Amino acid sequence: MDIFFHHSYNLDLLNLLNIVNGDPHYKNLYPQAYAEFGQPLSIDSKTILQQVSQALDSALISAPIAFGISIIPQFDKEPLLELLLDQERFLAAVEQNEPRLMAQKDQMFTLFQILAPVIQELEALGFREYWLAECLPIIEDRLDQVEALFLQSPLSSVFHELFADVDLPEELNIYFCGLNGGNGVRLAMHTPVVDISFPTEKIFDFALHEFFYNSLMKPEAQRVMKPLESDLFLQLAFEKSQIITGIKTITDYVQENINAAYKSYLLYKGGLLADPIEFLQTYQQGAMILAVILTDHLIWDGLQSNSMLSDLDAWMATQPLGRLMDLYKQALERAGKHLGDL
């Protein structure tokens, strides 16, 4: 899987909808953009945005629209207004690329049509010129920094050690936005959108999360993880951490721990996370006990097999159940940390 980095005027034009709608979060984040486009926006357009926000029950109008257009080939290059109004092209894209949306296709296209006049007005107010002058240079600088780091780091090779090629798409396209409100958004076909304010490790954490999650949802992964649910040490950790994590089942808790461990290992080996044990002790207030144990195993033993699932299976073969408290203490000691109250 090759990783490519992009910027997109269309996506930031959709992000502008969140700002000009007047929601305090987005308005305060981007006061200049709000002054330039929110204040002069017509009453009709503001009314449309408020009605759409109410219908979506969210101030984040851009996310579902961005997902919808991302189904269409060349969505980042074609004029946004044309994409929103070409019903035949949209329906063909849904059938070919995202047939699960067939039941919602009419509602989604209706939403496109409703928002089209607002998009047209924002472009008439000069957003393209504003974006080229004020946003694009900053986006390009951040994109170039991340791309250079990625090309110089072993991140890609470590990632391919964790996953078989058959489980990965041929390419992953990561989009950088300047007006994304500090959000990460997932579009169709494994396409993440990140905010330029994200630290580099968060960019890759968000962009690659889906592959870890999907791998751990496989039946063979569920089989390997299942015995961990009966460990008394993990059950106690889960129960005491629920108020912090909001995780409702021991199954989800185990899965989130394993996800966190292998992602931390990837970022550590890729040079983006200097001290993964320290990170896991602070992440979710140290609730990810199993993640600390597994990360320690990965740091000291390395991958014991040719994929994340095979490595996890090999680790389970060492019969860690019943010994997890000792392994947790060992992990902290080897990292020079101290055991807090569990």
Using CB atoms within 10 A of its CB, is residue 86 exposed (0-12), middle (13-18) or buried (19+)? Answer: middle
Share of the chain above pLDDT 70, in %: 99
Mean pLDDT to the nearest integer, 134-149: 97
CA dihedral 307, 165, 144, 123 (to 10 degrees): -120
Q: What are the angstrom distances between the C-alpha of 320 and each of 127, 192, 213? A: 58, 36, 23
Pair 299, 265: CB distance under 8 Å: yes
pLDDT of the residue at 75:
96
pTM for the structure as a whole: 0.92
pLDDT of the residue at 306:
83
pLDDT in tens, 239-281: 999 999 999 999 999 999 999 999 999 999 999 999 999 999 9
Give 87-130 as a DSSP string: HHHHHHHHHHH-GGGGGGHHHHHHHHHHHHHHHHHHHHTTHHHH
Report the alpha-carbon distance of residue 224 to residue 232 in Å, rounded.
17
Report the alpha-carbon distance of residue 148 to residue 150 in Å, rounded.
5
- The one-letter code for the residue type at 248 is K
pLDDT of the residue at 286:
87
**pLDDT confidence bin for 304, thresholds 50/70/90:** confident
**pLDDT confidence bin for 189, thresholds 50/70/90:** confident
pLDDT of the residue at 233:
96
Mean pLDDT to the nearest integer, 284-305: 93
With 90 as the cut, is the pLDDT of residue 288 above it?
Answer: yes
**pLDDT confidence bin for 190, thresholds 50/70/90:** confident
Contacts of 230 (CB under 8 A, 6+ apart): 321
With 60 as the cut, is the pLDDT of residue 342 above it?
Answer: no
- Pick the closest to residue 295 from 269, 318, 264, 338 (CA basis): 264
Q: What are the angstrom distances between the C-alpha of 279 and each of 59, 282, 286, 310? A: 32, 5, 9, 25
Pair 118, 43: CB distance under 8 Å: no
With 50 as the cut, is the pLDDT of residue 341 above it?
Answer: no
- Pick the closest to residue 224 from 328, 324, 311, 331 (CA basis): 311
Mean pLDDT to the nearest integer, 113-131: 98
pLDDT in tens, 23-76: 999 999 999 999 999 999 999 999 999 999 999 999 999 999 999 999 999 999
pLDDT of the residue at 111:
95
- Pick the closest to residue 34 from 26, 46, 44 (CA basis): 26
pLDDT of the residue at 339:
67
Using CB atoms within 10 A of its CB, is residue 300 exposed (0-12), middle (13-18) or buried (19+)? Answer: exposed
pLDDT of the residue at 340:
57
Mean pLDDT to the nearest integer, 115-125: 98
Mean pLDDT to the nearest integer, 155-167: 91
Mean pLDDT to the nearest integer, 223-234: 96
Helices (H), 131-216: 136-152, 155-162, 200-216
pLDDT of the residue at 294:
97
**CA 77, 183, 250 angle in degrees (round to 5)?**
125
Share of the chain above pLDDT 90, in %: 89
In terms of pLDDT, which residue wins out, 129 or 23?
129
Indicate the average pLDDT of the chain: 94
Mean pLDDT to the nearest integer, 191-201: 96
Mean pLDDT to the nearest integer, 87-102: 92
